[in-house]
């Protein structure tokens, strides 16, 4: 019986430690995400959900197509940011910049903010923003196209038009997490 109690207590302590470490891990960039999302006029909960999906808060991650860091920003996007923000000194080789959590989230939020502005007047714009962030704006423009005078697509109609399975899964997964985060905060 004594052995059982020791094992049970050990498992309980390990579970508590694992939970605390996990909570630290997934919330250690909250203030950075809040600040940069606010500066770029995007919802911090959406950015948090993107980082969760993209890298699970691992700033060293690199994607298969050259994406780097927490928000999996491409060097092309970083060069565009450098040019448009006047940070031309970073336009040459943005890889070191993207490896820094601060700059990675700043640039990722800036890029997401472009789509937030572009789809500002579209209902359920988050799906379009996420699709553009993942697959590029030109594809979203095509997926979002409706005949002149027709009402805009609903979120689900838009998602159904995404013909890249990985992008459709990406958008769906992040929207699900985003709504869960929003509902947990509302309670």
How large is the average pLDDT for residues 138-145?
96
Min mean pLDDT across 11-15, 65-69, 97-101 is at 11-15
For the chain, what percent of residues have pLDDT higher than 70?
Answer: 98
What tens digit of pLDDT does each residue of 102-122 get?
Answer: 999 999 999 999 999 999 999
Give exposure, 15-48, as e/b (b: 16+ Cβ within 10 Å): eeeeeeeeeeeeeebeebbeebbeebebbbbbbb
Burial of 102 (0-12, 13-18, 19+ CB in 10 A): middle
Q: pLDDT tens digits for 25-63? A: 889 999 999 999 999 999 999 999 999 999 999 999 999
What pLDDT was estimated at residue 33? 98
* pLDDT at residue 163 is higher than 90: yes
**Torsion of Cα atoms, 135 then 136 then 138 then 142, to 10°:** 30
User: What value does the mean pLDDT of the chain take?
Assistant: 94
pLDDT value for 17: 83
As a whole number of angstroms, the distance between CA 110 and CA 42 comes to 9
Domain span holding position 162: 2-186
Per-residue pLDDT at 84: 92
Whether the predicted pLDDT of 174 surpasses 60: yes
- Is pLDDT above 60 for 96? yes
Helical (H) or strand (E) element with 116: helix 101-118
What pLDDT is stored for residue 88 in this prediction?
Answer: 63
Residue 89 has pLDDT above 80, yes or no: no
The rounded Cα 137 to chain-centroid distance in angstroms is: 16
- Which of the four pLDDT bands, split at 50, 70 and 90, describes residue 123? confident
Confidence of residue 91 (pLDDT cuts 50, 70, 90): low
For the chain, how many structural domains are there in total? Answer: 1
Q: Which residues make Cβ contacts (< 8 Å) with residue 42, sequence separation at least 6?
A: 109, 112, 113, 116, 129
Q: What CATH number should be reported for the domain holding residue 152?
A: 1.10.530.10
Contact of 131 with 51, CB cutoff 8 Å: no
The reported pTM is: 0.91
Contacts of 94 (CB under 8 A, 6+ apart): 75, 78, 79, 82
CA 46, CA 175: separation in Å to the nearest integer? 8
């Amino acid at each position: 019986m004594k052995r059982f109690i020791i094992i049970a207590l050990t498992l309980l302590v390990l579970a508590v430690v694992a939970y605390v470490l996990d909570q630290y891990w997934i919330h250690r960039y909250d203030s950075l995400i809040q600040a940069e999302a606010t500066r770029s006029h995007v919802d911090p909960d959406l950015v948090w959900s993107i980082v969760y999906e993209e890298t699970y808060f691992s700033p060293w991650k690199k994607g298969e197509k050259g994406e780097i860091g927490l928000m999996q920003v491409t060097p092309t996007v970083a060069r565009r940011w450098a040019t448009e923000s006047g940070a031309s000194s970073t336009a040459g080789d943005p890889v070191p910049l993207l490896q820094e959590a601060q700059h990675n989230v700043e640039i990722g939020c800036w890029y997401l903010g472009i789509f937030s502005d572009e789809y500002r007047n579209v209902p359920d714009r988050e799906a379009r923003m996420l699709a553009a962030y993942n697959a590029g704006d030109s594809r979203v423009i095509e997926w979002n196209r409706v005949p002149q005078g027709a009402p805009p697509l609903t979120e689900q109609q838009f998602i159904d038009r995404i013909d890249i399975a990985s992008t459709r899964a990406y958008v769906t997964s992040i929207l699900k997490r985003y709504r869960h985060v929003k509902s947990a905060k509302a309670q």
